[in-house]
Structure 1
Amino acid sequence: MNDYGVTGATTGIEVLLKLPIHTVWSGITAIQRYGEWSPECIYGAWLEENATFEARNRFPNGLETYVTCTVTVLEEPTRFGWDVYGGEDVPLAHWEYELEDRGPETLVRQSFTHGPGDSGLRMGVLKYPDRATEIIRGRLDELAANMRTTLAAMEEALRRSGGLAGRL
């Protein structure tokens, strides 16, 4: 079945945060705080000894979704990533952070890659295949903007709290 380029669709950002790497690490692994920072993720909680977590997302149209995530990359303090599952055995997405230590600052590279699992993006593209490129680009642009918003809010919150976020 043709998925019109959904599987493997990727976006990412690169942001320099004015925080040391260990502080940024504490933020990106503080899943329970993502609801404070993200324009889309409204809730996160660790399950099963920090190997999996649950998350809830709210979209601009009011739709709320529940997903479970499995940590697939854990290389403290430089890489953290997870696969997202919406009830299937295959992931619908993979998220990852790569951190580069720059002394008092940290270069953050965050990426999103759509997996083969079902998602709202896939449903939208299958419903409107003649607009697939536009729909995919729009969602990837939205995700990149959300990444920037989340990291800016995280940076501000960590600066105010002296870098305490709750460690993995």
Structure 2
Amino acid sequence: MNDYGVTGATTGVEVLMQLPARTVWAGITAIQRYGEWSPECYYGAWLEPGARFEARNRFPNGFETYVTCTVTVLEEPKRFGWDVYGGEEFPLANWAYELEDRGEATLVRQTFTHGPGDSGLRMGVVKYPDRAAEIIQGRLDELATNMRKTLAAMESAL
């Protein structure tokens, strides 16, 4: 089946946060606080600390998702990432952070990559294949904007 370029579609941001790396690390691994900072994720809770967590997301159109995430990398205080599952066998996405310690500041690189699992984006491009490139780019742009908003809110709160 043609996935119109969804699998592997990636976006990311680089943000210099005016916080030490250990403080940023504490923020990015505080899954239970993402609802305070993220425009989409309104709930997060560890199921197995450091290994699995659940999250709930709400999108501007009112659509909600309930997902389970499996940690794929946990290298304190440098790298944190996870795969997102919505009930399917394959991950629908991967999120990752890389932290570069700059003393009193930290350069944060955050990325999002669509997986082969069944996602809302995949459903959208299958429904409107003639607009696939536009739909994918629109979602990637939205994700990058939300990453910046989340990191800014996190920086203000920590």
TM-score by length of 1: 0.93
Note the C-alpha offset of 1:143. 0.2
- Give the match's secondary structure for 1:50: coil
Structure 2: distance between partners of 1:61 and 1:148: 21
- Give the match's secondary structure for 2:49: helix
Gaps of 5+ in 1: 159-168
Note the C-alpha offset of 1:50. 2.9
Structure 2: distance between partners of 1:50 and 1:15: 24
CA RMSD, Structure 1 to Structure 2 (Å): 0.5
Q: State the 4+ residue runs in structure 1 displaced beyond 3 angstroms.
A: none
1:26-80: CA deviations, max 9, x gaps?
A: 0000000000000000000000233100000000001111000000001100000
1:105-142: CA deviations, max 9, x gaps?
A: 00000000000000100000000000000000000000
Give the equivalent residue in structure 2 for 1:166: none
Structure 2: distance between partners of 1:120 and 1:101: 35
Give the equivalent residue in structure 1 for 2:27: 27
Give the equivalent residue in structure 2 for 1:104: 104
Give the equivalent residue in structure 2 for 1:132: 132
Note the C-alpha offset of 1:89. 1.1
Contact 2:50–2:74, Cα closer than 8 Å, also in 1 = no
Structure 2: distance between partners of 1:92 and 1:120: 9
Structure 1: distance between partners of 2:30 and 2:73: 15
> 5 Å matches for 1:16-165?
16-158=16-158
Give the partner amino acid of 1:150.
T
Corresponding residue pairs, total? 158
Structure 2: distance between partners of 1:89 and 1:47: 19
Percent identical residues = 84
